[in-house]
Protein backbone atom coordinates (compact mmCIF):
# COMPACT_ATOMS: atom_id res chain seq x y z
CA UNK A 1 0.00 0.00 0.00
CA UNK A 2 1.23 3.46 -0.88
CA UNK A 3 1.50 6.18 1.71
CA UNK A 4 0.74 9.64 0.37
CA UNK A 5 1.05 12.93 2.26
CA UNK A 6 -0.51 16.29 1.45
CA UNK A 7 0.47 19.78 2.58
CA UNK A 8 -0.50 23.39 1.88
CA UNK A 9 2.26 25.97 1.65
CA UNK A 10 2.89 29.69 1.01
CA UNK A 11 -0.06 32.11 1.01
CA UNK A 12 -3.44 30.49 1.57
CA UNK A 13 -6.09 30.53 -1.14
CA UNK A 14 -9.81 29.69 -1.17
CA UNK A 15 -10.21 26.21 -2.60
CA UNK A 16 -7.16 24.73 -0.88
CA UNK A 17 -9.53 22.78 1.38
CA UNK A 18 -11.40 21.40 -1.61
CA UNK A 19 -8.03 20.27 -3.02
CA UNK A 20 -7.04 18.61 0.28
CA UNK A 21 -10.42 16.85 0.32
CA UNK A 22 -9.93 15.60 -3.22
CA UNK A 23 -6.44 14.29 -2.44
CA UNK A 24 -7.56 12.51 0.75
CA UNK A 25 -10.74 11.00 -0.67
CA UNK A 26 -9.24 9.83 -3.96
CA UNK A 27 -6.17 8.37 -2.23
CA UNK A 28 -8.48 6.36 0.04
CA UNK A 29 -10.63 5.38 -2.96
CA UNK A 30 -7.55 3.97 -4.73
CA UNK A 31 -6.48 2.07 -1.59
CA UNK A 32 -3.64 4.30 -0.41
CA UNK A 33 -3.00 5.55 3.10
CA UNK A 34 -3.05 9.34 3.34
CA UNK A 35 -1.37 11.71 5.77
CA UNK A 36 -1.86 15.43 6.37
CA UNK A 37 1.17 17.59 7.12
CA UNK A 38 0.38 20.69 9.21
CA UNK A 39 1.88 24.11 8.33
CA UNK A 40 3.56 23.23 5.05
CA UNK A 41 7.28 22.50 4.94
CA UNK A 42 7.65 23.85 8.48
CA UNK A 43 5.40 21.05 9.74
CA UNK A 44 7.28 18.50 7.66
CA UNK A 45 10.49 19.52 9.42
CA UNK A 46 8.75 19.31 12.80
CA UNK A 47 7.10 15.98 11.98
CA UNK A 48 3.58 17.42 12.38
CA UNK A 49 2.02 14.62 10.38
CA UNK A 50 -1.23 12.80 11.03
CA UNK A 51 -3.08 10.08 9.20
CA UNK A 52 -6.32 11.26 7.63
CA UNK A 53 -9.49 9.38 6.85
CA UNK A 54 -12.53 10.20 4.77
CA UNK A 55 -14.18 12.11 7.64
CA UNK A 56 -11.07 14.24 8.31
CA UNK A 57 -12.10 16.22 5.23
CA UNK A 58 -15.85 16.22 5.78
CA UNK A 59 -17.60 19.60 5.65
CA UNK A 60 -14.64 21.56 4.26
CA UNK A 61 -15.32 21.84 0.51
CA UNK A 62 -17.05 25.20 1.05
CA UNK A 63 -14.57 26.65 3.53
CA UNK A 64 -11.85 29.20 2.75
CA UNK A 65 -8.38 28.94 4.30
CA UNK A 66 -6.79 25.54 4.82
CA UNK A 67 -7.51 23.04 7.58
CA UNK A 68 -3.89 21.89 7.28
CA UNK A 69 -2.72 25.48 7.91
CA UNK A 70 0.08 26.98 5.90
CA UNK A 71 3.45 28.55 6.63
CA UNK A 72 6.56 29.98 5.05
CA UNK A 73 9.68 28.11 6.16
CA UNK A 74 13.11 29.67 5.75
CA UNK A 75 14.63 26.56 7.34
CA UNK A 76 13.33 24.39 4.52
CA UNK A 77 15.33 26.49 2.06
CA UNK A 78 18.52 25.19 3.72
CA UNK A 79 20.06 21.77 3.21
CA UNK A 80 20.00 21.13 6.96
CA UNK A 81 16.28 21.95 7.11
CA UNK A 82 15.47 19.61 4.24
CA UNK A 83 17.53 16.87 5.89
CA UNK A 84 15.31 17.20 8.98
CA UNK A 85 12.23 17.06 6.75
CA UNK A 86 13.57 13.87 5.15
CA UNK A 87 13.91 12.33 8.58
CA UNK A 88 10.14 12.77 9.09
CA UNK A 89 9.43 11.44 5.57
CA UNK A 90 11.40 8.30 6.37
CA UNK A 91 9.91 7.92 9.87
CA UNK A 92 6.39 7.91 8.42
CA UNK A 93 7.43 5.85 5.39
CA UNK A 94 5.90 8.34 2.94
CA UNK A 95 6.01 7.25 -0.71
CA UNK A 96 4.93 10.57 -2.18
CA UNK A 97 3.87 14.11 -1.27
CA UNK A 98 1.27 16.39 -2.84
CA UNK A 99 2.25 20.04 -2.39
CA UNK A 100 -0.50 22.65 -2.76
CA UNK A 101 0.87 26.18 -3.15
CA UNK A 102 2.50 28.74 -5.42
CA UNK A 103 5.79 28.83 -7.31
CA UNK A 104 7.88 28.96 -4.11
CA UNK A 105 6.15 25.84 -2.83
CA UNK A 106 6.78 24.15 -6.18
CA UNK A 107 10.51 24.90 -5.77
CA UNK A 108 10.34 23.24 -2.37
CA UNK A 109 8.57 20.24 -3.94
CA UNK A 110 11.34 20.03 -6.53
CA UNK A 111 13.98 19.93 -3.79
CA UNK A 112 12.13 17.09 -2.06
CA UNK A 113 11.99 15.22 -5.33
CA UNK A 114 15.76 15.62 -5.72
CA UNK A 115 16.10 13.94 -2.31
CA UNK A 116 14.16 10.95 -3.60
CA UNK A 117 10.56 11.64 -2.52
CA UNK A 118 8.17 11.77 -5.49
CA UNK A 119 6.19 15.02 -5.40
CA UNK A 120 3.27 16.49 -7.33
CA UNK A 121 2.41 20.19 -7.24
CA UNK A 122 -1.13 21.60 -7.24
CA UNK A 123 -1.34 25.34 -8.05
CA UNK A 124 -2.99 27.03 -5.06
CA UNK A 125 -2.56 30.80 -5.06
CA UNK A 126 -4.91 33.73 -5.59
CA UNK A 127 -2.34 35.52 -7.79
CA UNK A 128 -2.71 33.32 -10.92
CA UNK A 129 1.01 33.76 -11.51
CA UNK A 130 1.76 30.21 -12.68
CA UNK A 131 1.53 30.46 -16.44
CA UNK A 132 1.59 26.76 -17.36
CA UNK A 133 -2.02 26.57 -16.14
CA UNK A 134 -4.90 28.79 -17.23
CA UNK A 135 -6.04 29.16 -13.68
CA UNK A 136 -4.73 28.61 -10.17
CA UNK A 137 -6.99 27.54 -7.30
CA UNK A 138 -8.27 30.62 -5.44
CA UNK A 139 -7.92 33.10 -8.29
CA UNK A 140 -11.56 32.96 -9.37
CA UNK A 141 -12.78 33.46 -5.79
CA UNK A 142 -10.41 36.41 -5.27
CA UNK A 143 -11.63 38.03 -8.51
CA UNK A 144 -15.24 37.60 -7.39
CA UNK A 145 -14.44 39.14 -4.01
CA UNK A 146 -12.96 42.16 -5.79
CA UNK A 147 -15.99 42.46 -8.09
CA UNK A 148 -18.27 42.46 -5.07
CA UNK A 149 -16.18 45.26 -3.53
CA UNK A 150 -16.24 47.22 -6.79
CA UNK A 151 -20.06 47.11 -6.86
CA UNK A 152 -20.29 48.39 -3.30
CA UNK A 153 -17.75 51.14 -3.83
CA UNK A 154 -19.43 52.10 -7.11
CA UNK A 155 -22.71 52.72 -5.23
CA UNK A 156 -21.21 55.16 -2.77
CA UNK A 157 -18.92 56.64 -5.44
CA UNK A 158 -21.95 57.47 -7.59
CA UNK A 159 -23.78 59.15 -4.72
CA UNK A 160 -20.89 61.51 -4.12
CA UNK A 161 -19.58 61.87 -7.67
CA UNK A 162 -16.16 60.61 -6.58
CA UNK A 163 -13.37 58.70 -8.21
CA UNK A 164 -12.07 55.64 -6.39
CA UNK A 165 -8.75 53.87 -6.48
CA UNK A 166 -9.21 50.25 -5.40
CA UNK A 167 -5.92 48.54 -4.62
CA UNK A 168 -5.91 44.78 -5.14
CA UNK A 169 -3.31 42.05 -4.57
CA UNK A 170 -0.83 41.04 -7.25
CA UNK A 171 2.55 42.61 -6.64
CA UNK A 172 4.18 40.87 -9.60
CA UNK A 173 1.15 39.67 -11.50
CA UNK A 174 -1.70 41.96 -12.53
CA UNK A 175 -4.25 39.22 -13.23
CA UNK A 176 -6.55 39.98 -10.28
CA UNK A 177 -6.63 43.65 -11.33
CA UNK A 178 -7.13 42.74 -14.99
CA UNK A 179 -9.91 40.17 -14.58
CA UNK A 180 -11.76 42.05 -11.82
CA UNK A 181 -11.30 45.32 -13.71
CA UNK A 182 -12.82 43.92 -16.89
CA UNK A 183 -15.63 42.10 -15.09
CA UNK A 184 -16.33 45.06 -12.82
CA UNK A 185 -16.36 47.65 -15.60
CA UNK A 186 -13.50 49.70 -14.17
CA UNK A 187 -12.51 52.85 -16.06
CA UNK A 188 -8.79 52.20 -15.63
CA UNK A 189 -6.68 49.16 -14.76
CA UNK A 190 -3.11 49.68 -13.57
CA UNK A 191 -0.88 46.59 -13.46
CA UNK A 192 2.87 45.98 -13.05
CA UNK A 193 3.14 44.49 -16.55
CA UNK A 194 1.95 47.59 -18.44
CA UNK A 195 3.23 51.14 -18.55
CA UNK A 196 0.65 53.70 -17.46
CA UNK A 197 0.43 57.45 -17.91
CA UNK A 198 -1.27 59.40 -15.10
CA UNK A 199 -2.34 62.11 -17.58
CA UNK A 200 -4.18 59.51 -19.68
CA UNK A 201 -5.88 58.19 -16.52
CA UNK A 202 -6.95 61.73 -15.60
CA UNK A 203 -8.05 62.55 -19.15
CA UNK A 204 -10.42 59.57 -19.08
CA UNK A 205 -11.85 60.65 -15.70
CA UNK A 206 -12.54 64.18 -16.90
CA UNK A 207 -14.05 62.95 -20.17
CA UNK A 208 -16.37 60.66 -18.22
CA UNK A 209 -17.39 63.40 -15.83
CA UNK A 210 -18.15 65.76 -18.72
CA UNK A 211 -20.41 63.10 -20.20
CA UNK A 212 -22.31 62.96 -16.92
CA UNK A 213 -20.65 59.90 -15.44
CA UNK A 214 -21.21 59.81 -11.69
CA UNK A 215 -18.38 57.52 -10.69
CA UNK A 216 -14.98 56.31 -11.78
CA UNK A 217 -13.21 53.18 -10.66
CA UNK A 218 -9.46 52.73 -10.99
CA UNK A 219 -8.19 49.25 -10.17
CA UNK A 220 -4.58 49.34 -9.04
CA UNK A 221 -2.40 46.28 -8.48
CA UNK A 222 -0.44 46.67 -5.23
CA UNK A 223 3.13 47.83 -5.52
CA UNK A 224 2.60 49.91 -8.68
CA UNK A 225 3.32 53.28 -7.11
CA UNK A 226 1.92 54.79 -3.92
CA UNK A 227 -1.89 54.65 -4.00
CA UNK A 228 -2.35 57.71 -1.75
CA UNK A 229 0.12 59.78 -3.78
CA UNK A 230 -1.70 58.70 -6.92
CA UNK A 231 -5.03 59.74 -5.39
CA UNK A 232 -3.66 63.20 -4.52
CA UNK A 233 -2.19 63.58 -7.99
CA UNK A 234 -5.51 62.68 -9.63
CA UNK A 235 -7.40 65.16 -7.43
CA UNK A 236 -4.90 67.87 -8.26
CA UNK A 237 -5.02 67.28 -12.03
CA UNK A 238 -8.78 66.64 -12.40
CA UNK A 239 -10.36 68.42 -9.44
CA UNK A 240 -12.38 65.22 -8.81
CA UNK A 241 -12.46 64.03 -5.20
CA UNK A 242 -10.60 60.72 -5.15
CA UNK A 243 -10.76 58.09 -2.41
CA UNK A 244 -8.51 55.09 -1.90
CA UNK A 245 -9.64 51.63 -0.76
CA UNK A 246 -7.11 48.89 -0.04
CA UNK A 247 -8.81 45.51 -0.17
CA UNK A 248 -5.91 43.59 1.39
CA UNK A 249 -6.43 40.19 2.97
CA UNK A 250 -10.17 40.16 2.36
CA UNK A 251 -9.14 38.81 -1.07
CA UNK A 252 -7.58 35.69 0.45
CA UNK A 253 -10.62 34.56 2.42
CA UNK A 254 -14.17 33.49 1.82
CA UNK A 255 -16.01 30.48 0.54
CA UNK A 256 -14.51 29.30 -2.78
CA UNK A 257 -16.57 29.75 -5.94
CA UNK A 258 -17.98 26.71 -7.74
CA UNK A 259 -15.19 27.12 -10.33
CA UNK A 260 -12.45 26.92 -7.70
CA UNK A 261 -14.08 23.96 -5.94
CA UNK A 262 -14.37 22.03 -9.20
CA UNK A 263 -10.85 22.93 -10.28
CA UNK A 264 -9.48 21.88 -6.88
CA UNK A 265 -11.42 18.60 -7.00
CA UNK A 266 -10.14 17.74 -10.49
CA UNK A 267 -6.52 18.67 -9.76
CA UNK A 268 -6.45 16.95 -6.35
CA UNK A 269 -7.72 13.69 -7.82
CA UNK A 270 -5.27 13.85 -10.75
CA UNK A 271 -2.32 14.52 -8.43
CA UNK A 272 -3.05 11.30 -6.56
CA UNK A 273 -3.45 9.31 -9.79
CA UNK A 274 -0.07 10.57 -11.00
CA UNK A 275 1.66 9.46 -7.80
CA UNK A 276 0.00 6.04 -7.97
CA UNK A 277 1.10 5.76 -11.62
CA UNK A 278 4.67 6.25 -10.40
CA UNK A 279 5.06 9.79 -11.77
CA UNK A 280 7.16 12.36 -9.97
CA UNK A 281 8.13 16.04 -10.06
CA UNK A 282 4.99 16.97 -12.01
CA UNK A 283 2.57 19.86 -11.60
CA UNK A 284 -1.11 19.55 -12.48
CA UNK A 285 -3.07 22.33 -14.13
CA UNK A 286 -5.92 23.18 -16.47
CA UNK A 287 -5.86 24.04 -20.18
CA UNK A 288 -8.97 24.43 -22.36
CA UNK A 289 -11.02 22.64 -19.68
CA UNK A 290 -8.67 19.63 -19.69
CA UNK A 291 -6.53 18.59 -16.74
CA UNK A 292 -2.87 18.62 -17.77
CA UNK A 293 0.42 17.85 -16.09
CA UNK A 294 3.86 19.28 -16.82
CA UNK A 295 7.23 18.91 -15.10
CA UNK A 296 7.72 21.03 -11.97
CA UNK A 297 10.69 22.55 -13.80
CA UNK A 298 8.45 23.71 -16.65
CA UNK A 299 5.73 24.90 -14.26
CA UNK A 300 8.16 27.07 -12.32
CA UNK A 301 9.85 28.52 -15.40
CA UNK A 302 6.81 28.98 -17.64
CA UNK A 303 6.89 32.21 -19.61
CA UNK A 304 5.27 34.98 -17.57
CA UNK A 305 3.30 36.54 -20.40
CA UNK A 306 0.50 39.02 -19.72
CA UNK A 307 -2.87 38.99 -21.49
CA UNK A 308 -2.47 42.20 -23.52
CA UNK A 309 -5.60 41.46 -25.55
CA UNK A 310 -7.75 41.41 -22.47
CA UNK A 311 -6.10 44.57 -21.18
CA UNK A 312 -6.83 46.35 -24.48
CA UNK A 313 -10.41 45.07 -24.44
CA UNK A 314 -10.97 46.50 -20.95
CA UNK A 315 -9.60 49.82 -22.20
CA UNK A 316 -11.88 49.84 -25.27
CA UNK A 317 -14.98 48.95 -23.27
CA UNK A 318 -14.37 51.65 -20.68
CA UNK A 319 -14.40 54.60 -23.08
Interatomic CA distance for residues 123 and 13, integer angstroms: 10
Residue 34 or residue 142: which is nearer to ligand ATP going by CB? 142
Among 63, 111, 131, 282, binds ligand ATP (CB under 6 A): 111
| Of 25, 35, 41, 163, the one binding ligand ATP by CB under 6 A | 41
**Edge-to-edge strands, sheet with 163-168:** 188-190, 216-221, 163-168, 242-246
Q: Sign of the C-alpha dihedral, residues 169, 174, 179, 185?
A: positive
First to last CA, the chain: 61
* Only segment of 102-110, 204-212, 232-240, 276-284 that touches ligand ATP (CB under 6 A): 102-110
Per-position DSSP letters for 33-46, written without gaps between them? EEEEETTHHHHHHH
Report 152-191 residues binding ligand ATP (CB under 6 A). none
- At 52, is the secondary structure helix, strand, or coil? strand
The smaller minimum CB distance to ligand ATP, of residues 76 and 311, is found at 76
252 binds ligand ATP (CB under 6 A): no
Regarding 73 and contact with ligand ATP (CB under 6 A), the answer is: yes
Footprint of ligand ATP on 10-29 (CB under 6 A)? 10-11
46 binds ligand ATP (CB under 6 A): no
Report the relative pairing of strands 3-8 and 33-37 from DSSP bridges. Answer: parallel
Instruction: Name which position in 127, 140, 167, 222 contacts ligand ATP (CB under 6 A).
Output: 127
Specify the stretch interacting with ligand ATP by CB under 6 A; choose among 95-103, 139-147, 188-196, 276-284. Answer: 95-103
User: Any catalytic annotation for residue 140?
Assistant: no
* 185 half-sphere exposure, CB direction, 13 A CA radius: 8
Collect all residues with Cβ–Cβ distance below 8 Å to 73 and sequence separation of at least 6: 40, 41, 42, 45, 81
Bridge partner residues of 101 (DSSP): 123
Least distance from ligand ATP to the Cβ atom of residue 32, Å: 24
Binding span for ligand ATP by CB under 6 A among 20-28, 69-77, 235-243, 279-287? 69-77
By the rule CB under 6 A, 35 interacts with ligand ATP: no
Q: Which of residues 211-240 bind ligand ATP (CB under 6 A)?
A: none
d(C-alpha 46, C-alpha 40), whole Å: 10
Q: Does 56 bind ligand ATP (CB under 6 A)?
A: no
Binder of ligand ATP out of 3, 46, 69, 77 (CB under 6 A): 77
Q: Out of 9, 144, 188, 242, which residue is the one contacting ligand ATP (CB under 6 A)?
A: 9
Is residue 108 within the footprint of ligand ATP (CB under 6 A)? yes
Residue among 13, 17, 16, 71 nearest 45 (CA): 71
Q: Does 105 bind ligand ATP (CB under 6 A)?
A: yes
Compute the radius of gyration of the chain from its Cα atoms.
Answer: 22
Query: From the CB of residue 306, how many other CB atoms can be counted at a distance below 10 Å?
Result: 16
Q: Give me the active site residues, please.
A: 127
Residues lying near ligand ATP in the complex (CB under 6 A): 9-11, 41, 72-73, 76-77, 101-105, 107-108, 111, 125, 127
Amino acid sequence: MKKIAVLTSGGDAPGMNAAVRAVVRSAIYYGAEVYGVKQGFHGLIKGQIEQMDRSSVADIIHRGGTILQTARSEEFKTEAGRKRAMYAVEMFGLDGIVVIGGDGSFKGAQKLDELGVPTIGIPGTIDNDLRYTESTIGFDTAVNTVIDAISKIRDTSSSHGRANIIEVMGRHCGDIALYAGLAGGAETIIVPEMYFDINKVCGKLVQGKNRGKLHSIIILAEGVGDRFEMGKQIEKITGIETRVTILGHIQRGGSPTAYDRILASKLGARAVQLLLEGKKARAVGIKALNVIDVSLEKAINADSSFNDEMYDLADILSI
